[in-house]
Amino acid sequence: YDRTERIAWGLDKAKSDDILRKEKRVYELSQVEPGFPKVMPYQIAFRLLTTLLQTYSGDIDKVIASLGDVKPEQEERLRNRCKCAWYWVTECAPEEFKFALRTDGSKADISDVATKAICRIRDEVVPVMESFATDKDLQQKMYDIATELGMESKALFTALYHALINKDQGPRLASFMRIIGKEQLAKILSVY
């Protein structure tokens, strides 16, 4: 649907004029209200949207505020998309997909070396997260800390997921940490 929408609005190029006409018609017929929307709806990848919704415990206002570039005329449709995505998370998603931030002050049961690594990430990485140009750079710093402590990077990532969401795995860690934000990360990791 999103790809068809981008083609219909001229953001993506169709392979031919025939395909363009077909995609526009398919898009028009797939609207709840007749015709084209007045403005291009805000597009966000479903996986990112579900990560944001779970990070903010289903608070759609916080999700929209975190995006920062939603135009007022796009908000109603985005809000509806958020409601549908949240329904999917709460009612349809497999358990391994669901998560909730560990905000109760509890600690994960992790090894001493994992605790040291998490403390270093909390103290050395979290306060300067915005200084990393890319998620890859942020992730590399975490790999470096694991290596310095003689730890497998997978073990560090598993420990971090346990500390953050009490699961073995979750959303891509570097981008997930940016979504959570340094204040919330510092609060969650302060118990280590």
Report the CATH number that the domain containing residue 38 is assigned in CATH. 1.10.10.770
Whether residue 6 is found in the same domain as residue 91:
yes
Whether residue 119 is found in the same domain as residue 170:
yes
Whether 157 is in a domain gets the answer: yes
Whether residue 172 is found in the same domain as residue 146:
yes
The pLDDT of residue 58 is: 98
Whether 105 is in a domain gets the answer: no
> What pTM was estimated for this model as a whole?
0.86
114-145: b (≥16 Cβ within 10 Å) or e: beebbebbbeebbeebeebeeeeebbebbeeb
Which of residues 64, 95, 126 is at a domain's end? Answer: 95
The pLDDT of residue 41 is: 94
Whether residue 54 is found in the same domain as residue 118:
no
Whether 100 is in a domain gets the answer: no
Whether 54 is in a domain gets the answer: yes
One pLDDT digit (tens) per residue for the chain, 192 residues: 999 999 999 999 999 999 999 999 999 999 988 878 889 999 999 999 999 999 999 999 999 999 999 999 999 999 999 999 999 999 999 999 999 999 999 999 999 999 999 999 999 999 999 999 999 999 999 999 999 999 999 999 999 999 999 999 999 999 999 999 999 999 999 999
Whether 107 is in a domain gets the answer: no
Whether residue 91 is found in the same domain as residue 122:
no
- CATH number for the domain including 166? 1.10.10.350
The tally of domains found in the chain comes to: 2
Whether 103 is in a domain gets the answer: no
The CA distances from residue 23 to 6, 41, 74, in Å, are 9, 16, 21
The pLDDT of residue 32 is: 85
Whether 30 is in a domain gets the answer: yes
Whether residue 19 is found in the same domain as residue 85:
yes
Whether residue 154 is found in the same domain as residue 120:
yes
Domain ranges, residue 43: 2-95
Q: How many residues does the chain have?
A: 192
Which of residues 52, 70, 95 is at a domain's end? Answer: 95
The pLDDT of residue 34 is: 81
How far is it, in rounded angstroms, from Cα 76 to Cα 157?
Answer: 37
Whether 106 is in a domain gets the answer: no
Contact 64, 79 (CB under 8 A): yes
Whether residue 180 is found in the same domain as residue 145:
yes
Return the structure tokens found at 160: 């971090």
Which of residues 67, 95, 123 is at a domain's end? Answer: 95
